[in-house]
Structure 1
Amino acid sequence: MDMRARVNAALKQAMKDKAADRLSTLRLINAAIKDRDIATRGSGGEEAKGCGDAEVLEILGKMTKQRKESARAYEEGGRLDLAERERQEIAVIEEFLPKQLDEDEVSAAIEAAISATGAESIRDMGKVMGELKSRYTGQMDFGKVGPMVKDQLCAASNGGC
Protein backbone atom coordinates (compact mmCIF):
# COMPACT_ATOMS: atom_id res chain seq x y z
CA MET A 1 0.00 0.00 0.00
CA ASP A 2 1.45 3.36 -0.97
CA MET A 3 1.82 6.21 1.50
CA ARG A 4 -1.14 8.18 0.21
CA ALA A 5 -3.44 5.14 0.58
CA ARG A 6 -2.12 4.47 4.11
CA VAL A 7 -2.86 8.06 5.16
CA ASN A 8 -6.35 7.91 3.65
CA ALA A 9 -7.09 4.57 5.34
CA ALA A 10 -5.95 5.97 8.70
CA LEU A 11 -8.06 9.09 8.09
CA LYS A 12 -11.18 6.99 7.49
CA GLN A 13 -10.46 4.89 10.58
CA ALA A 14 -10.00 8.01 12.71
CA MET A 15 -13.38 9.26 11.49
CA LYS A 16 -15.01 5.97 12.46
CA ASP A 17 -13.27 5.99 15.86
CA LYS A 18 -14.22 9.65 16.41
CA ALA A 19 -10.59 10.40 17.34
CA ALA A 20 -10.65 14.18 16.87
CA ASP A 21 -6.96 14.92 17.58
CA ARG A 22 -5.73 12.11 15.33
CA LEU A 23 -8.20 13.11 12.62
CA SER A 24 -6.98 16.70 12.73
CA THR A 25 -3.34 15.65 12.27
CA LEU A 26 -4.21 13.25 9.44
CA ARG A 27 -6.10 16.03 7.68
CA LEU A 28 -3.01 18.24 7.98
CA ILE A 29 -0.93 15.49 6.38
CA ASN A 30 -3.46 15.10 3.57
CA ALA A 31 -3.52 18.86 2.99
CA ALA A 32 0.28 19.00 2.80
CA ILE A 33 0.30 16.18 0.23
CA LYS A 34 -2.36 17.92 -1.85
CA ASP A 35 -0.44 21.21 -1.64
CA ARG A 36 2.63 19.42 -3.05
CA ASP A 37 0.47 17.90 -5.81
CA ILE A 38 -0.77 21.36 -6.79
CA ALA A 39 2.74 22.80 -6.72
CA THR A 40 3.99 19.94 -8.91
CA ARG A 41 1.13 20.42 -11.34
CA GLY A 42 1.83 24.15 -11.58
CA SER A 43 5.50 23.57 -12.39
CA GLY A 44 4.71 21.27 -15.31
CA GLY A 45 4.97 17.99 -13.42
CA GLU A 46 2.82 14.95 -14.04
CA GLU A 47 -0.75 16.00 -13.51
CA ALA A 48 -2.54 12.73 -12.88
CA LYS A 49 0.07 11.00 -10.74
CA GLY A 50 0.84 13.63 -8.09
CA CYS A 51 3.73 13.21 -5.70
CA GLY A 52 5.19 9.78 -5.02
CA ASP A 53 6.08 8.00 -1.80
CA ALA A 54 9.54 9.60 -1.59
CA GLU A 55 8.00 13.07 -1.71
CA VAL A 56 5.37 12.08 0.87
CA LEU A 57 8.17 10.87 3.17
CA GLU A 58 9.95 14.18 2.65
CA ILE A 59 6.74 16.07 3.55
CA LEU A 60 6.26 13.97 6.68
CA GLY A 61 9.88 14.51 7.70
CA LYS A 62 9.48 18.27 7.39
CA MET A 63 6.23 18.20 9.33
CA THR A 64 7.90 16.26 12.14
CA LYS A 65 10.84 18.65 12.24
CA GLN A 66 8.51 21.68 12.36
CA ARG A 67 6.56 20.20 15.25
CA LYS A 68 9.71 19.34 17.21
CA GLU A 69 10.89 22.94 16.85
CA SER A 70 7.46 24.23 17.89
CA ALA A 71 7.35 21.93 20.92
CA ARG A 72 10.78 23.18 22.01
CA ALA A 73 9.68 26.81 21.60
CA TYR A 74 6.47 26.17 23.55
CA GLU A 75 8.42 24.54 26.38
CA GLU A 76 10.79 27.49 26.55
CA GLY A 77 7.77 29.80 26.68
CA GLY A 78 6.15 27.81 29.47
CA ARG A 79 3.26 26.55 27.31
CA LEU A 80 3.47 22.87 28.19
CA ASP A 81 -0.08 22.20 26.98
CA LEU A 82 0.81 23.33 23.45
CA ALA A 83 4.12 21.45 23.55
CA GLU A 84 2.23 18.26 24.43
CA ARG A 85 -0.19 18.84 21.53
CA GLU A 86 2.79 19.11 19.16
CA ARG A 87 4.22 15.84 20.54
CA GLN A 88 0.90 14.10 19.94
CA GLU A 89 0.96 15.28 16.32
CA ILE A 90 4.55 14.04 15.98
CA ALA A 91 3.46 10.59 17.20
CA VAL A 92 0.72 10.41 14.56
CA ILE A 93 3.04 11.58 11.76
CA GLU A 94 5.82 9.18 12.76
CA GLU A 95 3.45 6.22 12.31
CA PHE A 96 3.90 6.72 8.57
CA LEU A 97 7.66 7.23 8.59
CA PRO A 98 10.03 4.28 8.29
CA LYS A 99 12.01 3.24 11.36
CA GLN A 100 14.68 5.80 12.21
CA LEU A 101 18.24 4.52 11.90
CA ASP A 102 20.34 4.47 15.06
CA GLU A 103 23.77 6.12 15.20
CA ASP A 104 25.70 3.00 14.17
CA GLU A 105 23.39 2.41 11.20
CA VAL A 106 23.70 6.06 10.15
CA SER A 107 27.50 5.84 10.35
CA ALA A 108 27.51 2.66 8.25
CA ALA A 109 25.15 4.29 5.71
CA ILE A 110 27.49 7.29 5.45
CA GLU A 111 30.49 5.03 4.86
CA ALA A 112 28.58 3.11 2.18
CA ALA A 113 27.50 6.36 0.48
CA ILE A 114 31.08 7.68 0.53
CA SER A 115 32.39 4.53 -1.11
CA ALA A 116 29.47 4.38 -3.60
CA THR A 117 30.07 7.95 -4.76
CA GLY A 118 33.86 7.73 -4.63
CA ALA A 119 33.96 10.84 -2.45
CA GLU A 120 37.46 11.84 -1.37
CA SER A 121 37.18 15.32 0.09
CA ILE A 122 34.74 17.83 1.55
CA ARG A 123 34.04 19.05 -1.99
CA ASP A 124 32.20 15.76 -2.60
CA MET A 125 29.83 16.30 0.35
CA GLY A 126 26.91 17.17 -1.97
CA LYS A 127 27.26 13.85 -3.80
CA VAL A 128 27.29 11.92 -0.53
CA MET A 129 24.26 13.79 0.85
CA GLY A 130 22.39 13.24 -2.43
CA GLU A 131 23.11 9.51 -2.23
CA LEU A 132 21.93 9.35 1.38
CA LYS A 133 18.74 11.30 0.61
CA SER A 134 17.90 9.03 -2.31
CA ARG A 135 18.25 5.90 -0.17
CA TYR A 136 17.28 6.97 3.35
CA THR A 137 14.61 9.66 3.06
CA GLY A 138 12.59 9.66 6.26
CA GLN A 139 14.97 7.32 8.05
CA MET A 140 17.50 9.87 9.30
CA ASP A 141 17.70 13.52 10.28
CA PHE A 142 19.81 15.10 7.55
CA GLY A 143 20.49 18.14 9.73
CA LYS A 144 22.42 15.88 12.10
CA VAL A 145 23.86 13.71 9.33
CA GLY A 146 25.56 16.63 7.52
CA PRO A 147 28.22 17.24 10.20
CA MET A 148 28.82 13.48 10.45
CA VAL A 149 29.44 13.28 6.69
CA LYS A 150 31.77 16.26 6.93
CA ASP A 151 33.72 14.63 9.76
CA GLN A 152 34.11 11.36 7.85
CA LEU A 153 35.17 13.15 4.66
CA CYS A 154 37.69 15.23 6.61
CA ALA A 155 39.08 12.08 8.22
CA ALA A 156 39.28 10.38 4.82
CA SER A 157 41.23 13.28 3.32
CA ASN A 158 43.73 13.21 6.22
CA GLY A 159 42.29 16.24 8.00
CA GLY A 160 42.24 18.47 4.94
CA CYS A 161 39.27 20.50 6.11
Structure 2
Amino acid sequence: MREKLQDDVKAAMKAGDKARLTTLRMIGAAIKDKDIAARGGAADGHISDADIQDLLVKLIKSREDSAKLYDDGGRPELADKERAEIAVIRAYLPKPMDPAEVEAAVKAVVAELGASGMKDMGRVMAALKERYSGRMDMGKAGGTVKAALAG
Protein backbone atom coordinates (compact mmCIF):
# COMPACT_ATOMS: atom_id res chain seq x y z
CA MET A 1 0.00 0.00 0.00
CA ARG A 2 2.89 2.34 0.77
CA GLU A 3 4.38 1.81 -2.69
CA LYS A 4 1.05 2.56 -4.38
CA LEU A 5 0.75 5.74 -2.34
CA GLN A 6 4.26 6.87 -3.35
CA ASP A 7 3.58 6.07 -7.00
CA ASP A 8 0.34 8.04 -6.86
CA VAL A 9 2.12 11.02 -5.28
CA LYS A 10 4.60 11.02 -8.17
CA ALA A 11 1.79 10.73 -10.73
CA ALA A 12 -0.15 13.60 -9.13
CA MET A 13 2.99 15.74 -9.18
CA LYS A 14 3.58 15.03 -12.86
CA ALA A 15 -0.07 15.70 -13.68
CA GLY A 16 -0.13 18.93 -11.71
CA ASP A 17 -3.15 17.74 -9.69
CA LYS A 18 -2.61 19.88 -6.60
CA ALA A 19 -5.78 18.88 -4.74
CA ARG A 20 -5.02 15.16 -5.09
CA LEU A 21 -1.34 15.71 -4.27
CA THR A 22 -2.23 17.58 -1.08
CA THR A 23 -4.52 14.77 0.05
CA LEU A 24 -1.96 12.07 -0.78
CA ARG A 25 0.74 13.93 1.15
CA MET A 26 -1.64 14.27 4.11
CA ILE A 27 -2.19 10.49 4.04
CA GLY A 28 1.57 9.94 3.90
CA ALA A 29 2.13 12.28 6.84
CA ALA A 30 -0.54 10.50 8.91
CA ILE A 31 1.09 7.13 8.16
CA LYS A 32 4.51 8.51 9.08
CA ASP A 33 3.12 9.80 12.38
CA LYS A 34 1.77 6.34 13.17
CA ASP A 35 5.09 4.76 12.15
CA ILE A 36 6.93 7.05 14.55
CA ALA A 37 4.49 6.15 17.34
CA ALA A 38 5.07 2.44 16.60
CA ARG A 39 8.86 2.66 16.96
CA GLY A 40 10.28 0.31 19.53
CA GLY A 41 7.42 -2.12 19.09
CA ALA A 42 7.32 -5.45 17.31
CA ALA A 43 6.51 -3.76 13.99
CA ASP A 44 9.99 -2.22 13.83
CA GLY A 45 8.68 1.28 13.24
CA HIS A 46 6.24 0.43 10.45
CA ILE A 47 2.53 -0.07 10.92
CA SER A 48 0.83 -2.88 9.02
CA ASP A 49 -1.47 -2.47 6.03
CA ALA A 50 -4.41 -3.31 8.34
CA ASP A 51 -3.36 -0.43 10.62
CA ILE A 52 -3.10 1.83 7.58
CA GLN A 53 -6.64 0.85 6.59
CA ASP A 54 -7.87 1.68 10.10
CA LEU A 55 -6.11 5.03 9.84
CA LEU A 56 -7.73 5.74 6.46
CA VAL A 57 -11.17 4.91 7.88
CA LYS A 58 -10.54 7.42 10.68
CA LEU A 59 -9.42 10.06 8.18
CA ILE A 60 -12.62 9.54 6.19
CA LYS A 61 -14.77 9.77 9.31
CA SER A 62 -13.05 13.01 10.29
CA ARG A 63 -13.66 14.50 6.86
CA GLU A 64 -17.31 13.38 6.83
CA ASP A 65 -17.83 15.13 10.16
CA SER A 66 -16.10 18.27 8.86
CA ALA A 67 -18.17 18.28 5.66
CA LYS A 68 -21.37 18.07 7.70
CA LEU A 69 -20.26 20.97 9.89
CA TYR A 70 -19.36 23.04 6.82
CA ASP A 71 -22.75 22.28 5.25
CA ASP A 72 -24.52 23.28 8.46
CA GLY A 73 -22.44 26.45 8.62
CA GLY A 74 -23.25 27.50 5.06
CA ARG A 75 -19.79 26.81 3.63
CA PRO A 76 -20.51 24.42 0.74
CA GLU A 77 -17.15 25.09 -0.97
CA LEU A 78 -15.28 23.77 2.09
CA ALA A 79 -17.67 20.82 2.37
CA ASP A 80 -16.98 19.97 -1.28
CA LYS A 81 -13.22 20.09 -0.59
CA GLU A 82 -13.66 17.60 2.27
CA ARG A 83 -15.73 15.30 0.05
CA ALA A 84 -13.06 15.44 -2.65
CA GLU A 85 -10.49 14.34 -0.07
CA ILE A 86 -12.80 11.50 1.02
CA ALA A 87 -12.94 10.28 -2.59
CA VAL A 88 -9.14 10.19 -2.82
CA ILE A 89 -8.79 8.36 0.51
CA ARG A 90 -11.52 5.81 -0.36
CA ALA A 91 -9.50 4.72 -3.39
CA TYR A 92 -7.04 3.06 -0.97
CA LEU A 93 -9.68 1.05 0.87
CA PRO A 94 -11.35 -2.17 -0.23
CA LYS A 95 -14.93 -1.96 -1.48
CA PRO A 96 -17.26 -1.37 1.50
CA MET A 97 -19.67 -4.15 2.43
CA ASP A 98 -23.34 -3.63 1.71
CA PRO A 99 -25.87 -4.12 4.56
CA ALA A 100 -26.71 -7.69 3.48
CA GLU A 101 -23.02 -8.65 3.51
CA VAL A 102 -22.59 -7.07 6.94
CA GLU A 103 -25.55 -9.00 8.31
CA ALA A 104 -24.25 -12.28 6.86
CA ALA A 105 -20.76 -11.65 8.28
CA VAL A 106 -22.18 -10.84 11.71
CA LYS A 107 -24.30 -14.00 11.75
CA ALA A 108 -21.32 -16.10 10.69
CA VAL A 109 -19.04 -14.66 13.39
CA VAL A 110 -21.74 -15.01 16.08
CA ALA A 111 -22.24 -18.66 15.12
CA GLU A 112 -18.51 -19.35 14.89
CA LEU A 113 -17.80 -17.85 18.33
CA GLY A 114 -20.88 -19.41 19.89
CA ALA A 115 -21.92 -15.96 21.12
CA SER A 116 -25.22 -16.10 22.94
CA GLY A 117 -25.82 -12.75 24.63
CA MET A 118 -24.79 -9.16 25.02
CA LYS A 119 -21.86 -10.24 27.20
CA ASP A 120 -20.24 -11.58 24.01
CA MET A 121 -20.57 -8.34 22.05
CA GLY A 122 -16.95 -7.30 22.63
CA ARG A 123 -15.62 -10.61 21.32
CA VAL A 124 -17.85 -10.45 18.24
CA MET A 125 -16.91 -6.83 17.48
CA ALA A 126 -13.20 -7.63 17.91
CA ALA A 127 -13.46 -10.56 15.49
CA LEU A 128 -15.36 -8.44 12.95
CA LYS A 129 -12.78 -5.65 13.18
CA GLU A 130 -9.94 -8.13 12.71
CA ARG A 131 -11.52 -9.75 9.64
CA TYR A 132 -13.30 -6.86 7.96
CA SER A 133 -11.29 -3.78 8.86
CA GLY A 134 -11.67 -1.12 6.21
CA ARG A 135 -14.64 -2.85 4.60
CA MET A 136 -17.17 -2.74 7.42
CA ASP A 137 -18.37 0.37 9.24
CA MET A 138 -17.98 -0.77 12.83
CA GLY A 139 -20.35 1.91 14.14
CA LYS A 140 -23.18 0.63 11.98
CA ALA A 141 -22.20 -3.01 12.54
CA GLY A 142 -22.71 -2.54 16.29
CA GLY A 143 -26.48 -2.32 15.83
CA THR A 144 -26.48 -5.43 13.67
CA VAL A 145 -24.45 -7.30 16.30
CA LYS A 146 -26.84 -6.20 19.06
CA ALA A 147 -29.80 -7.42 17.03
CA ALA A 148 -28.12 -10.75 16.31
CA LEU A 149 -27.20 -11.31 19.96
CA ALA A 150 -30.62 -10.24 21.25
CA GLY A 151 -32.55 -12.50 18.91
Length-normalised TM-score, structure 2: 0.97
Cα deviation per residue 1:57-99 (whole Å; 9 max; x = unaligned)?
Answer: 0000000010001101100000000000000000000000000
Give 3-state SS (helix, strand or coil) of 1:34's partner. Answer: helix
Show the counterpart of 1:83: 79
Aligned to 1:65: 61
Can you give the 5+ residue segments of structure 2 that lack an aligned partner in the other structure? Answer: none
CA distance in 1, matches of 2:142, 2:44: 35
Q: How many residues align?
A: 151
CA distance in 2: counterparts of 1:99 and 1:79, whole angstroms:
30
Unpaired runs of 5+ in structure 1? 156-161
Equivalent in the alignment of 1:29: 27
Q: Which segment is superposed worse, 6-15 or 102-111? A: 6-15
> What per-residue deviation string (whole Å, max 9, x for no partner) do you get for residues 87-112 of structure 1?
00000000000000000000001011
Provide the alpha-carbon RMSD of the alignment.
1.0
Cα pair 2:67 2:82 within 8 Å, conserved: yes
Q: Give the aligned partner of residue 146 of structure 2.
A: 150
Structure 2 SS opposite 1:108:
helix
- Counterpart in the other structure of 1:124: 120
SS in 2 for 1:101: coil
Deviations 1:27-56 (A, max 9, x none): 000001000000111xx3146450010000
Over the matched positions of the two proteins, sequence identity in percent amounts to 48
Query: 1 CA distance for matches of 2:111 and 2:43?
Result: 37
Matched AA of 1:104: A
From 96, 99, 104, the equivalent of 1:103 is 99
